[in-house]
Chain A
Amino acid sequence: MKRRALLGAAIAVAAIAIDAIALASGAIAQQPPIKIGMSMAQTGGLAGAGKASLLGIQIWADELNAKGGLLGRKVELVVYDDKSTAAETPAIYAKLLDVDKVDLLFAPYATVPTAPLLPLAKQRELLLMGNFSFQVNSKVKHDMWFNNAPWGPADSWAASFLELGQKAGGKRIALLAADQEFAQNLALTAREVAKTRNMQIVFDQAYPPNTVEFSSIIRALSATKPDIVYVASYPPDSAGILRAVNEIGVGDNVKIFGGAMVGLQFAAVMENLGSLLNGVVNYNTWLPEPSMYFEGTKAFFETYAKRAVEAKVDPLGYYIAPYGYAMGQMVEQAVNATKSLDQKAIAKYLHANEHKTIVGPIAYSPDGEWKETATLQAQFRGVKDKNVEQFRSAGRQVILFPEKLKTGDLISPFEAARN
């Protein structure tokens, strides 16, 4: 009888415990999700990178939700297509804030769609996580802006390339830049850096954005006999410039060629250009070199490679996708540390601490850019034609800068490096 009573009591206690757990988990399930709002280029010129960035953010959100979410709540992404223009983003972000009532904001990919949002974020005192914009906060000076891109100080991009050229014995610079916002910003900093380093600019030309034939420009450039050629171009132009260089050359004087050519980071363009890439030193953000692996990096790219096929985005995803994931990681760490969604508290935490991410540690300077640049300058080597898989292995793009991530030295002059 006593045994039965004990058994009955044990069952009752177990039943109460199970009920309590069910109730508690029910309460978690019933809590509304934490909404993170953003627009992302899914059509238009920026769509390729925009989709890859979104996939990186989605992988972060899915993994976080599988672990139980943030502050015990699921994370939901609210995403609209901004068609790659600044014309769409003000209305989209007004909807995100006033209709969807999102808790946190991520900025869209790229500078132009983000530019109208900085004043909005400043006026409403909102945290805005930047997504690969360039110097978009330099005039607005919003203290709750955090760019996920590794650009660092404004002049570091040009400085790193020109320093490599100077170390190789270069003094005469040729600047070739597309007449568009991003390329012109870079050309401007290159001029300033050249001045401070006492380097002579022997050629300085902007070309119209839709230029397809570059042989006359490359001829004019090589006639000035430069030994550093700094190019700031967009994907179609980058391909056109390299084809023209391949056909007519840039001269034996050139020690280093490249710098800021957009497009040479994307699998389709790299596969298309193949061996024409050899010797070019260009910026990048992540490469499969031994120095670039941090906690979670390998696992991220394994997941990305699988999901990229379904999502029909860049199969490599080195350029921007891991930074989308890292942006999520930073927010996750800040929210968990402050145990709140208070935007000022999150911003304060982000400013005050260094954050561990899959792209390495990130610390911010007061303007919301990385304290130290981690923009890579890497040289293409041994690239063969029509083979995208070759870019997954180390050694195809040897990192020359920054020092702490370096995996090799510059091969110079450019003509020698091309072979």
Chain B
Amino acid sequence: MKSKSTGVRFWIGAILFLAAMLAATQVIRNEYPFFAGYIILQFVVLAVAWSILGGYAGYVNFGTSAFFGMGVYTAVFLVKATGAPLAVQIAAAAGVGALLGFAVGLLTLRMQGIFFSIATIALTIIIETTVTNWRFVGGAAGIQIQRPPVTPPFDTYVQMLFFVQALLVVLAVAIARYIQRSWIGRGLQAIKDDELAAECTGVPTLRLKLLACVISGALMCAAGAPAAMYFQYADPSSAFNLNYSVSALAMSLIGGTAHWAGPVLGAILLGVTQQFLAVTISSEVNVLILGIMLVLFVVAAPEGLIGLIRKIGNWRAGRAT
């Protein structure tokens, strides 16, 4: 009964969030909030997607930038080859991401721990090198893309991309929440605790890990697809920038990986801080502040913001009794 009511509350919250985002695009005339907000929402999707494999199953994936870049270049390819609309670009990117996730799952899930992480870094390098030498999508020189006319009710393309990314956030969070609360999440949790023991007790470990890889990969690629139209430019070094991998990982860890809300909180906190610092302290100091934040969270709140909130809640409850 409780689970049903929290489900209703979640969906009411999601609809309210989307309504607020849509209203913002209709009311706010200044474009800057949408430019900055888009980046924050993009990181929310990436962090939530990373957490499905990295948080629930404990497989640390450094290949976020590979999936993100594949999303960008799937969109670039489709725009150049067929002039496909945005929805098709995103759907195709999700498909490519799922396939890539499946391949990664098959190839690398036999590896564990640090070996898996190294394999995912290698994946980024392989794909980036391939795209760098693929002249059709611009190769090393990059490619500029012209946006098509915007679809009503939006006034500008960036407002539309902002709302599309908000939709992806709701989709990613809903999937992560479902996984966490279902048998899949419990299975992944068992794998994280002790994979051998999980296998012995009948948890279909390979199948679950493949599923996590496919879903995580599809979401990351989908998050990358609108970036081609956002930047109106794609080049391999920007699209496959390791910064996406590091940020997605840091956001999930800072937010906490035990609950779907952790990566959301972490991405909002870090994303807002990054955007704020980019236009306030214009120097090396902004990089330093981010580094200090990471160290502080790792030392003071190893379970992330979610862990910290739980601790405070328990402490208050303890004091009350």
Contacts and interface: CB of A to CB of B under 8 A. Distances in A.
B30 A180 contact: no
Interface stretch (B11-19, B139-147, B207-215): B139-147
Interface in B130-188: 132-133, 139-142, 144-147, 158
B20 to A, nearest CB: 20
Interface string A83-110: 1011110111011011100000000000
Interface stretch (B52-60, B91-99, B277-285): B277-285
A91 B282 contact: no
A112 B234 CA distance: 9
B275 interface: yes
A112 B238 contact: yes
Contacts of A180: 140, 237
B152 to A, nearest CB: 18
B140 A43 contact: no
Contacts of B142: 112, 115, 181
A112 B142 CA distance: 8
B32 A94 contact: yes
A179 interface: yes
B231 A116 contact: yes
A95 B279 contact: yes
- Taking chain B's interface residues, is the majority helix, strand, or loop, or is none over half, making it mixed? helix
Contact of A181 (B146, B235, B287): B235
A115 B278 contact: no
A115 B235 contact: yes
Contact of A92 (B141, B145, B231, B278): B278
Contacts of A116: 231-233
Interface string B271-306: 000010011001110110000000000000000000
Contacts of A112: 142, 235, 237-238
B241 interface: yes
B208 to A, nearest CB: 34
What range describes how many residues of B lie at the interface?
Answer: 35 or more
Given A87-B231, A95-B32, A112-B237, A43 B141 contact: no
Given A94-B35, A95-B32, A179-B132, A139 B283 contact: no
A9 B132 CA distance: 82
A361 interface: no
Contact of B232 (A120, A183, A206, A209): A120
B129 A119 contact: no
A208 interface: yes
A86 B231 CA distance: 8
Interface string A158-198: 00000000000000000000011101110010000000000
Interface residues of A, number: 36
B146 A119 contact: yes
B141 A118 contact: no
B298 to A, nearest CB: 23
A206 B233 CA distance: 22
A123 B47 CA distance: 32
Contacts of B146: 119, 140
Interface in B103-148: 129, 132-133, 139-142, 144-147
A79 interface: yes
B140 to A, nearest CB: 4
Contacts of A209: 237
A185 B141 contact: yes
B284 A42 contact: yes
B39 A118 contact: no
Nearest to A45: B237
Given A91-B36, A119-B232, A140 B140 contact: no
Contact of A179 (B140, B233, B238, B278): B140
A391 interface: no
A80 B140 contact: no
25 contacts: A43-B284, A43-B286, A83-B278, A83-B287, A86-B235, A87-B39, A91-B35, A91-B39, A91-B275, A95-B35, A95-B36, A95-B279, A112-B142, A116-B233, A118-B144, A119-B145, A119-B146, A119-B232, A120-B232, A140-B144, A181-B142, A181-B237, A206-B133, A206-B140, A208-B129
Enumerate the 6 nearest inter-chain pairs by beta-carbon distance, A residue then B residue, closest first. Answer: A94-B35, A115-B233, A91-B35, A81-B282, A119-B232, A184-B140
Given A86-B233, A90-B35, A209-B237, 9 more contacts: A42-B284, A85-B238, A91-B32, A95-B32, A97-B31, A98-B32, A99-B30, A120-B232, A184-B140
